[in-house]
Amino acid sequence: MKKLEIAKKPLYSQAHEQLLSELSLITRLVVYTGFAFFILSLLLTSLFTSGEDIQGYWILALGWIGLIIFQFSWFANPLNLLALLLVNQRPIVALLLSIVAFILASQTFIFVEIPTGTSSGKIHIKELGLGFYIWYLAQGLFLLGIIIEVFSHKKARTSLASS
């Protein structure tokens, strides 16, 4: 009877796998924190206007209408969701989607008025509220989480290929 030889993993491979699991833990922590901030942003005032102040949940529900006035910030939400869903299967695509999402989210900084569709015309945005800044931070955390995940897996594939 032949003894089955069990190949032991080299020590560097075990350390490498541990590093990957820690990075995945860091990625999860960053992304979950982003989701918590996203939910919190829905409950807070995002825009202070010359009319009524606008809450985050209202912007989430109706922000897609911004497409009509070339205001694309709202589309950062579905783009980042798609990026987070694709990060393991298509990491580079996920990274590009998240970068585009962050750029779109940044468009809010130049948004100064909201058309009302009535005779009064437009509601002027006086300032961005805490809800906006927390939402923007969430978008940044989603991007950061995807960057960590993409580059940790790239580094892992590179080191495994060289060993």
* pLDDT at residue 18, as a whole number: 55
Q: Residue 47: which domain range?
A: 20-162
Q: How far apart are CA 81 and CA 60, in angstroms?
A: 14
Closest C-alpha among 90, 95, 70, 65 to residue 80: 95
- 12 part of a folded domain: no
- 132 part of a folded domain: yes
* pLDDT at residue 128, as a whole number: 92
Provide the pairing of β-strand 54-55 with 122-128. unpaired
- 1 part of a folded domain: no
- 133 part of a folded domain: yes
Q: How many domains does the chain have?
A: 1
- 41 part of a folded domain: yes
* pLDDT at residue 119, as a whole number: 66
Provide block-wise average pLDDT over 10 residues at a time, the chain (163 residues): 53 54 78 95 92 88 82 92 89 95 93 74 88 97 94 63 55
3-state secondary structure string across the chain: CCCCCCCCCCHHHHHHHHHHHHHHHHHHHHHHHHHHHHHHHHHCEEEEECCCCEEHHHHHHHHHHHHHHCCCHHHHHHHHHHHHHHCCCCHHHHHHHHHHHHHHHHHHHHCCEEECCCCCCEEEEEEECHHHHHHHHHHHHHHHHHHHHHHHHHHHHHHHHHC
- 151 part of a folded domain: yes
* pLDDT at residue 111, as a whole number: 83
- 117 part of a folded domain: yes
* pLDDT at residue 143, as a whole number: 96
C-alpha dist (Å) from residue 69 to 16, 49, 152: 49, 17, 39
- 11 part of a folded domain: no
* pLDDT at residue 50, as a whole number: 85
Q: Which amino acid, residue 150? A: V
